[in-house]
Amino acid sequence: MLPFKLAYDRRYDLHLGPHIFPSQKYRLVYEALLREKLAEPADFLPPEPASDEDVLRVHSHEYVRKLKTGALSLSELMRLEIPYSPKTVEAFWLAAGGSILAARRALADGFAGNIGGGFHHAFPDHGEGFCMIHDVAIAIRRLQADAAVKAAMVVDTDVHQGNGTAAIFSGDQTVFTLSIHQENNYPLPKPPSNMDLNLPDGVGDAEYLAILEKHLALAFHQFHPDLMVYLGGADPYREDQLGGLALTIEGLRRRDQLVFEHARRHGVPVAITLAGGYARRVDDTVRIHVNTILAARDLAVKQTSGARG
Ligand SMILES: [Zn+2]
């Protein structure tokens, strides 16, 4: 049994067939956690889809109307890079609901996760890079609307810069955005986050972890959030087909630990989302995501037993 809850729905799978985006990974992560007895069925909570009201806190009426009526233009579809269907819309609304649920549960339990989400390339008026709507921004806006949090920090370790996140929260003093990514990669241009760590090609574990650690300390020195939303991208992995960094599976787990340790040190609850992952072997992507959940578990268990002792 996990010391926190995970949002998951089997309809997260977009059933894309032979596509570079392995959206079956959500189901595979869920199944691996159960099969390896790392989690039990009661650890998973089914999300409600986000309401249109929730989505409209981030996205324009015009874009939401196009999504709901199938009215995207050919160029908008090409930019999205995944096929459109009402089921796809349903999957993204559910993933956004999962991130809202994870954010709420994180406030209650210290940690929570969404076995999905992290769609950081979605903008208010369009989607791109496999991201239709921005679940993380929707979750933050919902919790702010509920007065459950005032300030939030987004820590994004996907190999691609969080351009949608940066654009949505640009000029917003209540949300601090940190993105650590490969500079020479999609997206271009990169709208500025509060903190962009632009890494050269081929950076490996030691250098990556040193840069991340230094800047997490700086970020928490500058900003005191009520909630962190973490995007634990699996694509800084050295075997990733869409990434050019060189982290190992062990290095990625250290990365997750580092982020969670900083949050715990500052008493900040963490909601985890998965974001990208395009390893040659989908099993590696699944392992990296499972490890993110385990890194949170290990720290949550340690904290609990520490408090008891
Ligand atoms: Zn990515």
Q: What is the pLDDT of residues 157-206, one digit of tens each?
A: 999 999 999 999 999 999 999 999 999 999 999 999 999 999 999 999 99
Q: Is the pLDDT of residue 16 over 70?
A: yes
24: CA distance to ligand 1 center in Å?
16
Query: What is the Å distance from ligand 1's center to 10 Cα?
Result: 22
Residue 113 has pLDDT above 70, yes or no: yes
Q: How confident is the model at residue 306 (pLDDT cuts 50, 70, 90)?
A: low
Task: Judge whether residue 21 has pLDDT over 80.
Answer: yes
- 148 has a pLDDT exceeding 80: yes
Q: List the single range of 36-50, 57-71, 291-305 with lowest mean pLDDT.
A: 291-305
Q: Tell me: pLDDT of 304 over 70.
A: no
Report the pLDDT averaged over residues 253-269.
Answer: 98
pLDDT exceeds 60 at position 36? yes
CA distances from 167 to 240, 275, 307 (A): 26, 17, 40
Taking the centre of ligand 1 as the mean of its atom positions, its distance from the CA of residue 244, in whole angstroms, is 11
Confidence label for 308 from pLDDT (cuts 50, 70 and 90)? very low
Q: What is the pLDDT of residue 307?
A: 52
CA of 273 to the centre of ligand 1 (A): 12
Residue 303 Cα to ligand 1 midpoint, Å, equals 31
Q: Ligand 1 centroid vs 276 CA: distance in angstroms?
A: 4
Which residues fall within 8 angstroms of residue 84, CB to CB, at 6 or more apart? 70, 72, 77
| Distance between Cα 159 and ligand 1 center (Å) | 5
As beta bridge partners, residue 270 has: 111, 228
Rounded CA separation 29/241 (Å): 19
pLDDT, average across residues 212-230: 98
- 68 Cα–ligand 1 center, Å: 26
Residues within 5 Å of ion ligand 1 by Cβ? 158, 160, 235, 276
Helices 249-265 and 282-308 cross at an angle (nearest 10°) of 30
Q: Which pLDDT score is estimated for 302?
A: 75
| Ligand 1 center–CA 207 separation, angstroms | 20
- Higher pLDDT among residues 307 and 290, named by residue: 290
At 17 the pLDDT is 85
Helix (H) or strand (E) holding 33: helix 25-35
Distance CA 228, CA 264 (A): 10
User: What is the percentage of the chain residues whose pLDDT exceeds 90?
Assistant: 95
Distance 255 CA to ligand 1 centre (A): 16
Please give the DSSP secondary-structure letter assigned to residue 49.
Answer: P
